[in-house]
Structure 1
Amino acid sequence: MVNRNELLANLQGQAKERFLALQSVEEIKTFLKNNGAYQRDVDRIYREVKRDVRKEFTEQVESWVNEGQSDEEIRQQLTGKLEESLREQVIVGGRQSAVNTLQREVYRMMDTGVPLKNIVTECAGPLADQQTIAVWIKKKIAQKEEMAAEEGGSNTGRAIGAAIFAVGLLLTVGSGGNTVFYGAILYGLFKMIKG
Protein backbone atom coordinates (compact mmCIF):
# COMPACT_ATOMS: atom_id res chain seq x y z
CA MET A 1 0.00 0.00 0.00
CA VAL A 2 1.24 3.47 -0.91
CA ASN A 3 1.52 5.92 2.00
CA ARG A 4 -0.04 9.37 1.84
CA ASN A 5 3.21 11.27 1.14
CA GLU A 6 4.08 8.97 -1.78
CA LEU A 7 0.57 9.38 -3.16
CA LEU A 8 0.77 13.17 -2.98
CA ALA A 9 4.25 13.22 -4.54
CA ASN A 10 2.99 11.02 -7.38
CA LEU A 11 -0.06 13.24 -7.86
CA GLN A 12 2.16 16.33 -7.91
CA GLY A 13 4.25 14.82 -10.70
CA GLN A 14 1.14 14.00 -12.69
CA ALA A 15 -0.30 17.46 -12.03
CA LYS A 16 2.90 18.99 -13.42
CA GLU A 17 2.57 16.91 -16.58
CA ARG A 18 -1.04 18.05 -16.97
CA PHE A 19 0.00 21.67 -16.31
CA LEU A 20 2.59 21.43 -19.08
CA ALA A 21 -0.03 19.84 -21.32
CA LEU A 22 -1.94 23.13 -20.88
CA GLN A 23 -4.86 21.64 -19.01
CA SER A 24 -7.01 24.20 -17.21
CA VAL A 25 -6.77 24.87 -13.49
CA GLU A 26 -10.15 23.21 -12.96
CA GLU A 27 -9.16 20.09 -14.91
CA ILE A 28 -5.99 19.68 -12.86
CA LYS A 29 -7.74 20.25 -9.54
CA THR A 30 -10.54 17.85 -10.46
CA PHE A 31 -7.93 15.22 -11.39
CA LEU A 32 -6.23 15.68 -8.01
CA LYS A 33 -9.53 15.42 -6.07
CA ASN A 34 -10.61 12.34 -8.01
CA ASN A 35 -7.33 10.61 -7.23
CA GLY A 36 -7.27 11.00 -3.46
CA ALA A 37 -6.00 14.50 -2.69
CA TYR A 38 -7.84 16.46 -0.01
CA GLN A 39 -8.88 20.03 -0.83
CA ARG A 40 -6.00 21.55 1.16
CA ASP A 41 -3.62 19.26 -0.75
CA VAL A 42 -5.18 20.17 -4.10
CA ASP A 43 -4.59 23.89 -3.64
CA ARG A 44 -1.06 23.40 -2.26
CA ILE A 45 -0.06 20.99 -5.03
CA TYR A 46 -1.37 23.32 -7.74
CA ARG A 47 0.49 26.32 -6.26
CA GLU A 48 3.73 24.32 -5.99
CA VAL A 49 3.44 22.97 -9.53
CA LYS A 50 2.82 26.44 -10.93
CA ARG A 51 5.73 27.91 -8.92
CA ASP A 52 8.10 25.12 -10.02
CA VAL A 53 7.12 25.43 -13.68
CA ARG A 54 7.48 29.22 -13.55
CA LYS A 55 10.93 28.90 -11.94
CA GLU A 56 12.16 26.31 -14.46
CA PHE A 57 10.99 28.31 -17.46
CA THR A 58 12.27 31.60 -16.04
CA GLU A 59 15.74 30.05 -15.74
CA GLN A 60 15.47 28.75 -19.31
CA VAL A 61 14.40 32.18 -20.57
CA GLU A 62 17.33 33.78 -18.72
CA SER A 63 19.74 31.48 -20.57
CA TRP A 64 18.06 32.27 -23.90
CA VAL A 65 18.28 35.99 -23.14
CA ASN A 66 21.98 35.60 -22.35
CA GLU A 67 22.40 33.86 -25.72
CA GLY A 68 20.96 36.98 -27.35
CA GLN A 69 17.51 35.72 -28.31
CA SER A 70 14.76 38.31 -28.70
CA ASP A 71 11.50 38.22 -26.79
CA GLU A 72 9.69 37.20 -29.97
CA GLU A 73 12.03 34.24 -30.52
CA ILE A 74 11.56 33.20 -26.90
CA ARG A 75 7.80 33.63 -27.16
CA GLN A 76 7.77 31.30 -30.18
CA GLN A 77 9.77 28.67 -28.31
CA LEU A 78 7.33 28.81 -25.38
CA THR A 79 4.18 28.71 -27.49
CA GLY A 80 2.32 25.50 -26.75
CA LYS A 81 4.37 24.91 -23.59
CA LEU A 82 2.78 27.50 -21.30
CA GLU A 83 -0.52 29.32 -21.28
CA GLU A 84 -0.22 32.88 -22.56
CA SER A 85 -0.30 34.90 -19.31
CA LEU A 86 2.25 32.64 -17.61
CA ARG A 87 4.40 32.69 -20.74
CA GLU A 88 4.56 36.51 -20.61
CA GLN A 89 5.37 36.46 -16.88
CA VAL A 90 8.20 34.01 -17.51
CA ILE A 91 9.63 36.14 -20.35
CA VAL A 92 9.59 39.29 -18.21
CA GLY A 93 11.00 37.41 -15.20
CA GLY A 94 13.76 35.74 -17.22
CA ARG A 95 14.82 39.00 -18.87
CA GLN A 96 14.85 40.82 -15.51
CA SER A 97 16.83 38.00 -13.92
CA ALA A 98 19.42 38.24 -16.70
CA VAL A 99 19.70 42.02 -16.21
CA ASN A 100 20.07 41.59 -12.43
CA THR A 101 22.82 39.02 -12.96
CA LEU A 102 24.65 41.41 -15.28
CA GLN A 103 24.33 44.25 -12.77
CA ARG A 104 25.77 42.04 -10.00
CA GLU A 105 28.67 41.19 -12.32
CA VAL A 106 29.33 44.90 -12.95
CA TYR A 107 29.42 45.52 -9.18
CA ARG A 108 31.67 42.50 -8.62
CA MET A 109 34.08 43.80 -11.26
CA MET A 110 34.10 47.22 -9.60
CA ASP A 111 34.84 45.67 -6.22
CA THR A 112 37.77 43.71 -7.66
CA GLY A 113 39.31 46.83 -9.17
CA VAL A 114 38.62 46.36 -12.88
CA PRO A 115 38.96 49.76 -14.61
CA LEU A 116 35.56 51.37 -15.17
CA LYS A 117 36.15 51.83 -18.90
CA ASN A 118 36.83 48.09 -19.24
CA ILE A 119 33.66 47.24 -17.32
CA VAL A 120 31.55 49.40 -19.60
CA THR A 121 33.00 47.95 -22.80
CA GLU A 122 33.00 44.32 -21.58
CA CYS A 123 29.49 44.30 -20.13
CA ALA A 124 27.59 46.40 -22.68
CA GLY A 125 25.42 44.37 -25.00
CA PRO A 126 21.81 43.44 -25.68
CA LEU A 127 20.84 43.47 -22.00
CA ALA A 128 22.28 46.86 -21.14
CA ASP A 129 23.89 49.50 -23.32
CA GLN A 130 26.96 51.47 -22.27
CA GLN A 131 24.85 54.29 -20.89
CA THR A 132 22.87 51.94 -18.62
CA ILE A 133 26.07 50.37 -17.33
CA ALA A 134 27.53 53.83 -16.71
CA VAL A 135 24.41 54.69 -14.67
CA TRP A 136 24.87 51.51 -12.59
CA ILE A 137 28.52 52.43 -11.99
CA LYS A 138 27.63 56.00 -10.98
CA LYS A 139 24.98 54.69 -8.61
CA LYS A 140 27.44 52.30 -6.98
CA ILE A 141 30.09 55.03 -6.67
CA ALA A 142 27.52 57.40 -5.13
CA GLN A 143 26.53 54.72 -2.61
CA LYS A 144 30.17 54.17 -1.65
CA GLU A 145 30.77 57.92 -1.32
CA GLU A 146 27.64 58.32 0.79
CA MET A 147 28.73 55.50 3.09
CA ALA A 148 32.21 57.01 3.40
CA ALA A 149 30.74 60.45 4.16
CA GLU A 150 28.48 58.99 6.84
CA GLU A 151 31.40 57.22 8.46
CA GLY A 152 33.61 60.30 8.24
CA GLY A 153 30.74 62.58 9.16
CA SER A 154 30.06 60.70 12.35
CA ASN A 155 33.61 61.26 13.61
CA THR A 156 33.47 64.89 12.55
CA GLY A 157 30.08 65.32 14.22
CA ARG A 158 31.38 63.89 17.48
CA ALA A 159 34.45 66.13 17.39
CA ILE A 160 32.39 69.25 16.74
CA GLY A 161 29.93 68.25 19.46
CA ALA A 162 32.75 67.71 21.95
CA ALA A 163 34.26 71.11 21.09
CA ILE A 164 30.92 72.94 21.53
CA PHE A 165 30.27 71.09 24.80
CA ALA A 166 33.78 71.99 26.09
CA VAL A 167 33.33 75.67 25.15
CA GLY A 168 29.96 75.74 26.92
CA LEU A 169 31.49 74.14 30.01
CA LEU A 170 34.51 76.50 30.00
CA LEU A 171 32.27 79.57 29.64
CA THR A 172 30.09 78.35 32.50
CA VAL A 173 33.11 77.74 34.74
CA GLY A 174 34.69 81.02 33.59
CA SER A 175 31.61 82.99 34.65
CA GLY A 176 31.94 81.55 38.12
CA GLY A 177 28.74 79.61 37.72
CA ASN A 178 26.67 82.79 37.56
CA THR A 179 25.74 82.06 33.93
CA VAL A 180 25.18 78.52 32.71
CA PHE A 181 25.54 78.10 28.97
CA TYR A 182 22.81 75.44 28.57
CA GLY A 183 22.47 75.91 24.85
CA ALA A 184 26.10 75.17 24.05
CA ILE A 185 26.31 72.31 26.56
CA LEU A 186 23.11 70.59 25.37
CA TYR A 187 23.79 71.20 21.69
CA GLY A 188 27.33 69.82 22.10
CA LEU A 189 25.96 66.70 23.84
CA PHE A 190 23.36 66.29 21.10
CA LYS A 191 26.03 66.55 18.36
CA MET A 192 28.25 64.00 20.12
CA ILE A 193 25.40 61.51 20.53
CA LYS A 194 24.09 62.02 17.00
CA GLY A 195 27.60 61.80 15.50
Structure 2
Amino acid sequence: MANRNELLADLQVQAKERFLALQSTEEIKDFLKNNGAYQRDVDRIYREVKRDVRKEYTEQVEAWVNEGQSDEQIRQQLTGQLEENLREQVIVAGRQSAVNALQREVYRLMDAGVPMEKIMVECARPWADHQTVMGWMERRIAQKEEAVAEESGSNGGRILGAVILVVGLGLTFASMSSSGSSGGYSVFYGAILYGLFKMIKG
Protein backbone atom coordinates (compact mmCIF):
# COMPACT_ATOMS: atom_id res chain seq x y z
CA MET A 1 0.00 0.00 0.00
CA ALA A 2 2.91 2.32 0.76
CA ASN A 3 4.17 1.87 -2.81
CA ARG A 4 0.78 2.81 -4.22
CA ASN A 5 0.60 5.93 -2.01
CA GLU A 6 4.06 6.92 -3.19
CA LEU A 7 2.99 6.37 -6.81
CA LEU A 8 -0.10 8.55 -6.34
CA ALA A 9 1.92 11.28 -4.58
CA ASP A 10 4.42 11.29 -7.46
CA LEU A 11 1.60 11.40 -10.01
CA GLN A 12 0.07 14.37 -8.16
CA VAL A 13 3.36 16.29 -8.41
CA GLN A 14 3.54 15.56 -12.13
CA ALA A 15 -0.13 16.44 -12.61
CA LYS A 16 0.53 19.83 -10.96
CA GLU A 17 3.43 20.47 -13.32
CA ARG A 18 1.20 19.64 -16.28
CA PHE A 19 -1.57 21.84 -14.88
CA LEU A 20 0.86 24.77 -14.64
CA ALA A 21 2.04 24.01 -18.17
CA LEU A 22 -1.59 24.70 -19.18
CA GLN A 23 -2.39 21.18 -20.31
CA SER A 24 -6.10 20.54 -20.66
CA THR A 25 -8.14 18.68 -18.06
CA GLU A 26 -8.52 15.74 -20.44
CA GLU A 27 -4.77 15.55 -21.07
CA ILE A 28 -3.97 15.56 -17.36
CA LYS A 29 -6.61 12.94 -16.54
CA ASP A 30 -5.45 10.75 -19.41
CA PHE A 31 -1.87 11.02 -18.13
CA LEU A 32 -2.99 9.92 -14.65
CA LYS A 33 -5.03 6.98 -15.98
CA ASN A 34 -2.25 5.84 -18.27
CA ASN A 35 0.21 5.80 -15.38
CA GLY A 36 -1.71 3.61 -12.95
CA ALA A 37 -4.22 5.87 -11.19
CA TYR A 38 -7.74 4.50 -10.70
CA GLN A 39 -10.66 6.66 -11.81
CA ARG A 40 -11.44 7.74 -8.22
CA ASP A 41 -7.77 8.72 -7.79
CA VAL A 42 -7.78 10.61 -11.09
CA ASP A 43 -10.70 12.81 -10.06
CA ARG A 44 -9.34 13.37 -6.54
CA ILE A 45 -5.84 14.23 -7.72
CA TYR A 46 -7.14 16.66 -10.33
CA ARG A 47 -9.38 18.39 -7.75
CA GLU A 48 -6.53 18.68 -5.25
CA VAL A 49 -4.09 19.99 -7.85
CA LYS A 50 -6.55 22.64 -9.00
CA ARG A 51 -7.32 23.63 -5.38
CA ASP A 52 -3.63 23.89 -4.46
CA VAL A 53 -2.76 25.96 -7.53
CA ARG A 54 -5.71 28.24 -6.93
CA LYS A 55 -4.68 28.72 -3.26
CA GLU A 56 -1.06 29.51 -4.12
CA TYR A 57 -1.97 32.02 -6.80
CA THR A 58 -4.68 33.60 -4.67
CA GLU A 59 -2.07 34.28 -1.98
CA GLN A 60 0.27 35.76 -4.62
CA VAL A 61 -2.51 37.99 -5.96
CA GLU A 62 -3.30 39.16 -2.43
CA ALA A 63 0.34 40.22 -2.03
CA TRP A 64 0.26 42.06 -5.36
CA VAL A 65 -2.99 43.81 -4.39
CA ASN A 66 -1.38 45.01 -1.15
CA GLU A 67 1.53 46.37 -3.20
CA GLY A 68 -0.99 48.49 -5.09
CA GLN A 69 -1.05 46.62 -8.39
CA SER A 70 -4.18 46.95 -10.50
CA ASP A 71 -6.20 44.00 -11.79
CA GLU A 72 -4.80 44.65 -15.27
CA GLN A 73 -1.20 44.54 -14.01
CA ILE A 74 -1.93 41.31 -12.14
CA ARG A 75 -3.67 39.87 -15.19
CA GLN A 76 -0.60 40.55 -17.32
CA GLN A 77 1.66 38.82 -14.80
CA LEU A 78 -0.58 35.75 -14.75
CA THR A 79 -0.96 35.52 -18.52
CA GLY A 80 0.61 32.28 -19.67
CA GLN A 81 0.68 30.87 -16.14
CA LEU A 82 -3.00 30.00 -15.71
CA GLU A 83 -5.94 29.35 -17.97
CA GLU A 84 -8.06 32.46 -18.45
CA ASN A 85 -11.01 31.23 -16.37
CA LEU A 86 -8.85 30.25 -13.38
CA ARG A 87 -6.78 33.42 -13.75
CA GLU A 88 -9.89 35.58 -13.36
CA GLN A 89 -11.04 33.50 -10.39
CA VAL A 90 -7.76 33.96 -8.50
CA ILE A 91 -7.73 37.70 -9.23
CA VAL A 92 -11.19 38.08 -7.70
CA ALA A 93 -10.36 35.73 -4.79
CA GLY A 94 -7.02 37.42 -4.10
CA ARG A 95 -8.50 40.90 -4.06
CA GLN A 96 -11.34 39.77 -1.78
CA SER A 97 -8.84 38.04 0.51
CA ALA A 98 -6.86 41.30 0.81
CA VAL A 99 -10.04 43.21 1.64
CA ASN A 100 -11.14 40.65 4.24
CA ALA A 101 -7.71 40.59 5.89
CA LEU A 102 -7.56 44.37 6.18
CA GLN A 103 -11.10 44.58 7.51
CA ARG A 104 -10.27 42.00 10.18
CA GLU A 105 -7.19 44.03 11.12
CA VAL A 106 -9.28 47.21 11.46
CA TYR A 107 -11.72 45.39 13.73
CA ARG A 108 -8.88 43.91 15.79
CA LEU A 109 -7.27 47.31 16.31
CA MET A 110 -10.61 48.89 17.24
CA ASP A 111 -11.33 46.12 19.74
CA ALA A 112 -7.86 46.66 21.22
CA GLY A 113 -8.67 50.35 21.79
CA VAL A 114 -6.19 51.73 19.26
CA PRO A 115 -6.97 55.40 18.46
CA MET A 116 -8.75 55.98 15.16
CA GLU A 117 -5.98 58.17 13.75
CA LYS A 118 -3.44 55.39 14.35
CA ILE A 119 -5.74 52.82 12.73
CA MET A 120 -5.99 55.05 9.66
CA VAL A 121 -2.19 55.15 9.41
CA GLU A 122 -1.57 51.46 10.14
CA CYS A 123 -4.29 50.29 7.74
CA ALA A 124 -3.37 52.57 4.86
CA ARG A 125 -3.17 50.61 1.61
CA PRO A 126 -2.89 51.84 -1.98
CA TRP A 127 -6.28 50.31 -2.75
CA ALA A 128 -8.14 51.24 0.48
CA ASP A 129 -8.90 54.93 0.92
CA HIS A 130 -9.84 56.61 4.21
CA GLN A 131 -13.52 56.41 3.35
CA THR A 132 -13.35 52.61 3.02
CA VAL A 133 -11.58 52.18 6.36
CA MET A 134 -14.00 54.58 8.09
CA GLY A 135 -16.90 52.64 6.61
CA TRP A 136 -15.57 49.51 8.27
CA MET A 137 -15.20 51.41 11.54
CA GLU A 138 -18.82 52.50 11.34
CA ARG A 139 -19.87 48.92 10.66
CA ARG A 140 -17.91 47.69 13.67
CA ILE A 141 -19.50 50.40 15.82
CA ALA A 142 -22.93 49.30 14.61
CA GLN A 143 -22.13 45.70 15.55
CA LYS A 144 -21.08 46.82 19.02
CA GLU A 145 -24.21 48.96 19.32
CA GLU A 146 -26.39 45.95 18.64
CA ALA A 147 -24.49 43.86 21.19
CA VAL A 148 -24.72 46.59 23.83
CA ALA A 149 -28.41 47.15 23.10
CA GLU A 150 -29.15 43.45 23.52
CA GLU A 151 -27.24 43.30 26.80
CA SER A 152 -28.44 46.52 28.37
CA GLY A 153 -32.02 46.58 27.09
CA SER A 154 -34.00 49.83 27.12
CA ASN A 155 -32.42 51.08 30.38
CA GLY A 156 -29.10 51.56 28.67
CA GLY A 157 -30.54 53.73 25.90
CA ARG A 158 -29.04 56.98 27.15
CA ILE A 159 -25.62 55.44 27.72
CA LEU A 160 -25.67 53.77 24.33
CA GLY A 161 -26.79 57.01 22.69
CA ALA A 162 -23.95 58.91 24.33
CA VAL A 163 -21.43 56.28 23.18
CA ILE A 164 -22.72 56.41 19.59
CA LEU A 165 -22.71 60.22 19.63
CA VAL A 166 -19.13 60.36 20.92
CA VAL A 167 -17.97 57.80 18.36
CA GLY A 168 -19.72 59.67 15.55
CA LEU A 169 -18.08 62.92 16.62
CA GLY A 170 -14.74 61.14 17.01
CA LEU A 171 -14.92 59.71 13.49
CA THR A 172 -15.84 63.13 12.15
CA PHE A 173 -12.89 64.81 13.86
CA ALA A 174 -10.58 61.97 12.74
CA SER A 175 -11.75 62.51 9.17
CA MET A 176 -11.17 66.25 9.47
CA SER A 177 -7.68 65.81 10.87
CA SER A 178 -6.69 63.18 8.29
CA SER A 179 -7.92 65.30 5.38
CA GLY A 180 -5.08 67.78 5.95
CA SER A 181 -4.95 70.62 3.48
CA SER A 182 -7.17 68.86 0.94
CA GLY A 183 -10.24 70.13 2.81
CA GLY A 184 -12.35 67.03 2.04
CA TYR A 185 -13.68 65.23 5.08
CA SER A 186 -16.66 63.16 6.17
CA VAL A 187 -19.29 64.09 8.75
CA PHE A 188 -20.84 60.98 10.25
CA TYR A 189 -24.38 62.36 10.47
CA GLY A 190 -25.89 58.92 10.90
CA ALA A 191 -24.02 58.07 14.08
CA ILE A 192 -24.41 61.60 15.52
CA LEU A 193 -28.15 61.85 14.90
CA TYR A 194 -28.80 58.28 15.97
CA GLY A 195 -26.83 58.86 19.18
CA LEU A 196 -28.87 61.97 19.94
CA PHE A 197 -32.09 60.11 19.21
CA LYS A 198 -31.13 57.24 21.54
CA MET A 199 -30.19 59.70 24.31
CA ILE A 200 -33.49 61.57 24.01
CA LYS A 201 -35.49 58.38 23.78
CA GLY A 202 -33.62 56.89 26.77
How do 1:29-48 residues align onto structure 2 when only pairs under 5 Å count? 29-48=29-48
Question: What is residue 187 of structure 1 aligned with on the other side?
Answer: none
Gaps of 5+ in 2: 157-202
Query: Structure 1 residues 118-127 or 1-10, which shifts more?
Result: 118-127
DSSP 3-state at the match of 1:3: helix
Q: Displacement, 1:46?
A: 0.2
Distance 2:154 2:36 in 1: 64
2:103 aligned partner: 103
Query: What SS does structure 1 have at the residue aligned with 2:59?
Result: helix
Q: Do the aligned residues in 2 keep the contact of 1:58 with 1:94 (CA within 8 Å)?
A: yes
Contact persistence 1:78–1:87 (CA under 8 A): yes
Deviations 1:1-35 (A, max 9, x none): 97110010000000000000000000000000000
TM-score of the two chains, using structure 1 as the length reference: 0.75
* d(CA) in 1 for partners of 2:37, 2:85: 27
Aligned residue for 1:92? 92
Equivalent residue number for residue 164 of structure 1: none
* Bigger Rg over Cα: 1
Letter of the aligned partner of 1:10 in structure 2? Answer: D
TM-score (norm 2): 0.73
Which stretch of structure 1 is more off in the superposition, 119-128 or 108-117?
A: 119-128
Distance change >3 Å, CA 154–CA 16, structure 1 → 2: farther
Instruction: Output the CA distance in 2 between the equivalents of 1:118 and 1:129.
Output: 15
**Residue 75, structure 1, aligned to residue 75, structure 2:** yes
Q: How many residues align?
A: 156
- Where does structure 1 lack aligned partners over 5 or more consecutive residues? 157-195
Secondary structure of residue in 2 paired with 1:82: coil
CA RMSD, Structure 1 to Structure 2 (Å): 1.8
* Contact preservation (8 Å) 2:62, 2:98: yes
Give secondary structure in 2 for the equivalent of 1:69. Answer: coil
Query: Which residue matches 1:126?
Result: 126
State the match for 1:186 in structure 2: none
